[in-house]
Amino acid sequence: MEVTGKIKMIDTTKEVGSSGFKKRDVVITTDEQYPQHILVQFVQDKCDLLNGFAVGEAVKIDINLRGREWVNPQGETVYFNTIQGWRIGKLQAEAPQQQAPPMPAAQTFEPAPSFTEEEHDDLPF
């Protein structure tokens, strides 16, 4: 899956817990009728992928949806979803479409020769 849009925010890399788990968040604003602000999380060695990017750049991020279950201290089961990025690239600015050159006036072309039915039908079938 993928999400495209402009970078709204890039967070710093954070280390969570005692195991040294690293995560880094980026928020992408989609370009649609009702723009959405999508939080995408990069983890571990993927955090460094965001180093070459800046706020305002148009990007495409390849993502995976992740979900997990957690039982809180009250014994209730709670579910969490995460959008996890694994690749990011800059979107190329759309090149202006080239227009076809104008058609020359009909007078600049030679008239087509007249063919008879026998001359025209030279196909073997």
Cα distances (Å, whole numbers) of residue 29 to 23, 60, 119: 20, 11, 65
CA distance 77 to 67: 13
pLDDT at 92: 80
pTM passes above 0.75: no
Band of pLDDT at residue 121, cut at 50, 70 and 90: low
CA distance 61 to 3: 5
pLDDT at 110 over 80: no
CA distance 8 to 29: 6
Band of pLDDT at residue 45, cut at 50, 70 and 90: very high
pLDDT tens digits, 52-99:
999 999 999 999 999 999 999 999 999 999 999 999 999 986 555 566
Mean pLDDT of 4-17: 94
Q: Where are the chain's structural domains?
A: 2-90
What is the CATH code for 2-90? 2.40.50.140
pLDDT tens digits, 20-34:
899 999 999 999 999
